[in-house]
């Protein structure tokens, strides 16, 4: 079935992971900054311009609250960790293998989630089914 990843595929996923990581790092910096500023800048009566990341801009400033930002930061940190792990697995030549059962993770899944740690079956099992 040719499910094994070729060197070229690996290089491709590596590039995707690296750019994802770079983007997430940038987002995290901006969001942490924003959240901290809001925390310490109470009583100012709302700042002037906003430095929100692009993808949050359409949520509107009014219903944008700190808790939401912190949730996002947590989420992105988790994703960052998964990306780190994926890159590490790549170094060890284990990329694309399920951490649970060792089978190859299906290619469409890797394309959707390049930092996926488990095959779809194990992921469903571990997450209690989605
Ligand atoms: Zn598995």
DSSP string, 38-62: HHHTTTS-S-SS----GGGGGG-ST
Range of the domain at 22: 7-92
Distance 121 CA to ligand 1 centre (A): 6
Within a domain: residue 73? Answer: yes
Q: Is residue 46 part of a domain?
A: yes
Tell me, yes or no, whether 83 lies in a domain: yes
Q: Which pLDDT score, from 0 to 100, does residue 125 have?
A: 92
Q: Does residue 46 surpass a pLDDT of 80? A: no
How far is ligand 1, taken at its centre, from the CA of residue 123, in Å? 7
Instruction: Establish if 81 belongs to a structural domain.
Output: yes
Number of domains in the chain: 1
The answer to whether residue 112 is domain-embedded is no
Q: Tell me, yes or no, whether 128 lies in a domain.
A: no
The CA distance from 52 to 66, in Å, is 12
Q: What is the pLDDT of the chain when averaged over all its residues? A: 82
Q: What is the pTM of this model?
A: 0.69
**Residue 111: inside a domain, yes or no?**
no
Mean pLDDT of the region 95-99: 95
């Amino acid at each position: 079935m040719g499910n094994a990843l070729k060197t070229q595929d690996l290089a491709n996923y590596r590039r995707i992971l690296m750019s994802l990581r770079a983007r997430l790092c940038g987002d995290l910096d901006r969001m942490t900054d924003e959240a901290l500023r809001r925390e310490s800048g109470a009583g100012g009566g709302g700042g002037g311009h906003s430095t929100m990341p692009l993808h949050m801009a359409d949520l509107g400033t009014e219903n944008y609250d700190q808790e939401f930002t912190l949730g996002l930061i947590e989420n992105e940190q988790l994703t960052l960790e998964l990306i780190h792990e994926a890159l590490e697995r790549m170094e060890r030549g284990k990329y694309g293998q399920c951490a649970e059962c060792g089978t190859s993770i299906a290619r469409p899944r890797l394309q959707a989630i390049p930092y996926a740690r488990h095959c779809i079956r194990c992921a469903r099992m571990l997450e209690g089914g989605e």
